[in-house]
Each structure stands twice: as structure tokens, then as C-alpha cells.
Amino acid sequence: MSNLKREIVVALGQNHKIKDGKLSIDAFEWFLPIIKNHSALEEHFSRLEPTEKLDPAMKKEAFASLNPEWLWR
């Protein structure tokens, strides 16, 4: 396991176990409200995602007003 992965796992909880290729972790107490309310949080934040994708020409036009110099790089 890489150091970054190990740091992430350690930050999430304790009693780390791997059984049949699956990792289980006892989450820290501060993390439990997030786990319990995941569905509501996901629903709340999913509304912030765009419903359709802009084609590249529309993106270019939208950002052109911000800094015209960007268009030529």
C-alpha cells in the first residue's frame, strides 16, 4: 500500500482489516454524522452539478469575457 493510501486509511478510522480483498475500517466518531447523512448530503450537493454539458465553442465564448489573453495560449 502506498504511503498516501495508508495516510488516507489511517485518517478515516481505526481497526483496519482486509478480508477477502475488502477493507473495513471502524470510522472515527466525528465521521459518523457524514456516513449517516450521506444520502441527504449527496442529494443536496448533486443539485449543484450542471445538468447538461456545454460544447467547447460555448465554453470559449463564456470565458472570453473574463480574460481575452487566455484564448490565445
In this prediction the pTM is 0.41
Report how far residue 15's alpha carbon sits from residue 23's, in angstroms, rounded to the nearest whole number: 10
Q: Is 19 helix (H, G, I), strand (E, B) or coil?
A: strand
E-strand spans in the chain? Answer: 13-19, 22-27
pLDDT digits (tens, 9 = 90+) for 27-48: 888 888 888 888 888 877 777 7
The type of residue at 39 is S
Phi-psi category of residue 21: left, alpha or beta, with phi > 0 → left and psi -120 to 50 → alpha: left
Above 70 in pLDDT, residue 1? no
Burial label for 55, CB within 10 Å (0-12, 13-18, 19+), is: exposed
The residue that leads in pLDDT, 1 or 49, is 49
